[in-house]
Amino acid sequence: MANQELVDNLNRALGLELAAVIQYMQHSFLVTGAEREVYRSFFREQSEESHDHAKTLGDKVVAIGGVPTVEPGMIRQSTDLKEMLRQDLALEREAMEAYMAAWESCKDSDRPTRFMLEERISQEQIHIEELEKLTSERKANVTKEKITLRQVS
Ligand SMILES: [Fe+2]
C-alpha cells in the first residue's frame, strides 16, 4: 500500500519544481539590460535543473504507487532582476519545505526514498544559499575579521 502522506509531499515538491521550470524560463525571457548577458543563461540553467528534479520526482511518485501532479505551484514574474531573484528564493524555500516534509513522512520501508531526498535537500540548500548571496540577504562577514598576510622574509 502506498504511503499516502509521502506521495502527497512528493507531489507538493513536484508542483513547485514544475513552477520553477516555468518561472526561471520566464525570468530568462524578461531579464533586460547589461545583466541579461549573465542572467539569461543563469535562469535557463536553473529551469533545466528544475526540469531534471521534476522528472525524478514524477518517476518516484509512480514507483511508490501514486499519480504525479500536473499542477504547478504559484508562478511569480517581474521585470526587475532583484525582484526576480527574491521570487526565485521564495520558491526555492517553499520547495525546501516540501522536501523536508517528504523526508519526515518516510517510514523505515521508504529508506531509499529518504536517501534520495537527503541528496536533493543538500543540493537545494546550496541553491538557497547562492540566491541569498545574489539578493544580498547573506553577506560575507569579513569586516570583523582581521586579515593577516603571512610575512615573506
Ligand atoms: Fe530543485
Given a contact cutoff of 8 angstroms between Cβ atoms, the answer to whether 35 and 131 are in contact is no
Cα of 17 vs centre of ligand 1, distance in Å, is: 6
Whether the pLDDT of residue 10 is over 90: the answer is yes
By CB atoms closer than 10 A (0-12, 13-18, 19+), residue 52 is exposed
Cα of 92 vs centre of ligand 1, distance in Å, is: 7
Whether the pLDDT of residue 58 is over 70: the answer is yes
Whether the pLDDT of residue 1 is over 80: the answer is no
C-alpha separations of 35 from 31, 40, 41, 101, 114 in Å: 7, 8, 11, 36, 39
Whether the pLDDT of residue 144 is over 90: the answer is no
Give residue 70's pLDDT.
98
- Give the residue, 138 or 145, on which the prediction is more confident: 138
Give residue 148's pLDDT.
75
Question: Which residue's entry shows cell 499542477?
Answer: 71
Give residue 122's pLDDT.
98
Give residue 145's pLDDT.
66
CA 62 to chain centre: 22
Given a contact cutoff of 8 angstroms between Cβ atoms, the answer to whether 61 and 68 are in contact is yes
CA 23 to chain centre: 12
Whether the pLDDT of residue 120 is over 80: the answer is yes
Cα of 124 vs centre of ligand 1, distance in Å, is: 6
Question: Span 28-52, mean pLDDT?
Answer: 98
Cα of 20 vs centre of ligand 1, distance in Å, is: 8
Given a contact cutoff of 8 angstroms between Cβ atoms, the answer to whether 78 and 87 are in contact is yes
Cα of 135 vs centre of ligand 1, distance in Å, is: 19
Cα of 51 vs centre of ligand 1, distance in Å, is: 8
Cα of 104 vs centre of ligand 1, distance in Å, is: 18
Give residue 151's pLDDT.
78
Radius of gyration of the chain, Cα coordinates, nearest whole angstrom:
19
Question: Span 82-86, mean pLDDT?
Answer: 98
Whether the pLDDT of residue 140 is over 80: the answer is yes
